[in-house]
Amino acid sequence: MKKTFIILLYLLSNAFVFAQSNYATCKKASILLKEMEKFHYKPIKLDEVTSSEIFFDVLKSLDPKGFYFSKTELSALEKHKTKIFTQINNGNCDFLNDLLTLYKLKLLYADTVIKFQSKNPFVYTNNESINFNNIESKQLTLADNDTELNKKWYQFLKYQTLKAMFQPSIKYPDILQTDSKTILSTEPFFREKIKNLNNRKIKRILNCPEGLENFIGKHFLNAIANRFDPHSIYFTTSEKDDFISMISKDGMSFGFYIDENKNGEFEISDLIPGGNAWKTNQLNTGDILVAMKFGNNITVDLTFVDNEEMEDIFDSNSESSTLALTVRKPNGQIKTVSLYKEKTEQEDNIVRSYILNGTKKIGYISLPSFYDERENKNPLGCGNDVAKEISKLQEEKIEGLILDIRFNGGGSMKEALNLAGIFINEGPLCVVKDKDNKITTLKDMNRGTAYDGPLIVMINGQSASASEMVSATLQDYNRAVIVGNTTFGKGTAQITAPLDANFSLETMTGNEKSDIGYLNITMRKFYRVSTFSHQNKGIKPDIMLPDFSLFSNEKESTQKYALAFDTVVKIFILLRFLRCQLMLYHLKAHNELSTIIYLKK
């Protein structure tokens, strides 16, 4: 009776705060749906089936491994399962009110369970197993009740502790040759470490800078956007700025990179020359990160933080422009340095070129991203930078060129078209189709080429979107030999638009600096000049050169709600394409023969 009264009192005290926040989220959801219906390539049917799918997707995103909710709580929420769109239309998302209250209670419950389960040494003599297929499942997999949930936590904490105990360390570099008594002596230390790691994950959610209500609201909005397709995403204002920064050569950064050392500590692995961390003259590579304080938020203790947790810390504080970074110097001195974000050159987006000296002098260009310079009035992106590098290589009298776009996840489609045009004299580069089935041919607007010699393009399973468009075009024109393994399979194009009911695609007008968020909307599918899509299938290389991405499950075809493969037919596209191929016939034969000779050598 007492427990029931406390819970009831808690629910009532939070009801008003939750209702206010959820009204704002509900309003955003209404605008999001209208904008998606208006612009998305293939709008979904807003029925009870789709509502149920979004219902489960929200729960899965909030509890991806099924450690907070049980089927008991799920039954209490199921009354909302088919009513999400009705609630959004009525402007009263009762589902969110109940979800927010329950989620906070279950986070606090999990925090208590972790502390209780970690009080005493785990029993390592029982014959037990843990099913990671269920934990990592893309479907919502929950324990039947709290008793089963407690057991699941016990087994998971025990597994994590065992894993930590058997990691090689400086003290025990050859752990397999270390006796069991010595290994078990480390158990209390690692059990405490694992307890703190999991408790901090929960506290980070409960104390997230934007507030728990907005945190869950963001997951709700993203579940709706993702239901249209996996590349339609809701962004907060700061996330939108981060996204634009990712596909820009210059972005906002504190000016340092971190890596995990052999002791499991995070250290500064590199300072960006000219960046803010470099200019302080107080930080060095090898400094160990002890704590971080973003803006006016609470200080985050980095003891026993793992990679996943570190990513979460930076993600949850992405809006902060200032950072108080506490480090431990090699001599043991503790120092706190104040940093602020400023524009620095993104190393991940820099084109690099090299000369490979051997029997033949071959040029090599690495292009990690299709970046542009959106902030400039006359932007010059990666296409221009690659052309400059080719010019330098040609001065060195190269006899062939390798363009490496492995691990290039895409970026600006405009820059991809510019890059393809560097190697093709003229003609169609790809075909795009919108939601009204309007077909448009995108052409190489500049006659001539920057390079017409033998060409190899390297791809792999992490080459996606714009990378696939370039490799497909050069393959269809027989302009390059494509080497590697099958690409990711993303054949869609997106725009980033403000979450604004008055946004106009035709004039690109609306609230450009939205304070309620942005949408990355899939608006078109693009097709090869041979009229086939690579959506869901990827680009197959001419010569297979396997790497680890060949075995990755991260493909478009494994993404939930991915758009299907299809073709587009327009006869004049084929005729123009065939004419261009005939014009390039002699050049093609020369390139293929020469390139294959180089490969063999």
Instruction: Please say whether the beta carbons of 485 and 547 come within 8 A.
Output: yes
Position 234 in a domain: no
Res 597: pLDDT: 41
- Strands 481-484 and 543-544, how do they pair? parallel
Residue 589 reports pLDDT greater than 50: no
Instruction: Pick the more confident residue, 561 or 298.
Output: 561
The CATH number of whichever domain residue 564 belongs to comes to 3.90.226.10
**Least-confidence region, from 216-225, 381-390, 443-452, 498-507:** 498-507
How far apart are alpha carbons 458 and 57 in whole angstroms?
A: 36
The CATH number of whichever domain residue 293 belongs to comes to 2.30.42.10
Looking at 345, 368, 403, the residue that finishes a domain is 345
Same domain, residue pair 386 and 273: no
Position 523 in a domain: no
Residue 586 reports pLDDT greater than 60: no
Same domain, residue pair 122 and 19: yes
Same domain, residue pair 88 and 33: yes
Instruction: Please say whether the beta carbons of 263 and 286 come within 8 A.
Output: no
Tokens 């039954």 sit on residue: 75
Domains identified in the chain, total number? 3
Q: Which residues contact 105 (CB under 8 A, 6 or more apart)?
A: 7, 10
User: DSSP letter string over 409-433?
Assistant: --B-HHHHHHHHHHH-SSEEEEEEE
Looking at 315, 345, 375, the residue that finishes a domain is 345
Percent of the chain with pLDDT over 90: 42
Q: Which residues contact 214 (CB under 8 A, 6 or more apart)?
A: 21, 25
Average pLDDT over the chain, rounded to an integer? 82
How far apart are alpha carbons 524 and 41 in whole angstroms?
A: 6
Instruction: Please say whether the beta carbons of 588 and 481 come within 8 A.
Output: no
Position 30 in a domain: yes
Query: What mean pLDDT is predicted for residues 77-105?
Result: 94
Among 8-22, 176-190, 468-482, 511-525, the range with the most confident prediction by mean pLDDT is 468-482
Same domain, residue pair 359 and 474: yes
Report residue 47 CA to chain centroid gap.
29
Same domain, residue pair 70 and 157: yes
Query: What mean pLDDT is predicted for residues 383-395?
Result: 92
Task: Tell me the pTM.
Answer: 0.79
Same domain, residue pair 72 and 210: yes
Looking at 345, 367, 402, the residue that finishes a domain is 345
Same domain, residue pair 396 and 312: no
Six-digit token string for 330: 């090699």
Position 469 in a domain: yes
Position 305 in a domain: yes
Instruction: Pick the more confident residue, 527 or 306.
Output: 527
Same domain, residue pair 206 and 187: yes
Same domain, residue pair 313 and 353: no
Element (H, E) at 240: helix 237-246
Res 596: pLDDT: 43
Same domain, residue pair 217 and 255: no
Position 344 confidence tier, pLDDT thresholds 50, 70, 90:
low
Same domain, residue pair 280 and 133: no
Residue 95: give the domain boundaries.
Answer: 2-228
Q: How confident is the model over 471-526, as pLDDT tens digits?
A: 999 999 999 999 999 999 999 999 888 888 788 776 554 445 667 888 999 999 99
Position 130 in a domain: yes
How far apart are alpha carbons 511 and 508 in whole angstroms?
A: 10
Position 37 in a domain: yes
Res 12: pLDDT: 44
Same domain, residue pair 120 and 64: yes
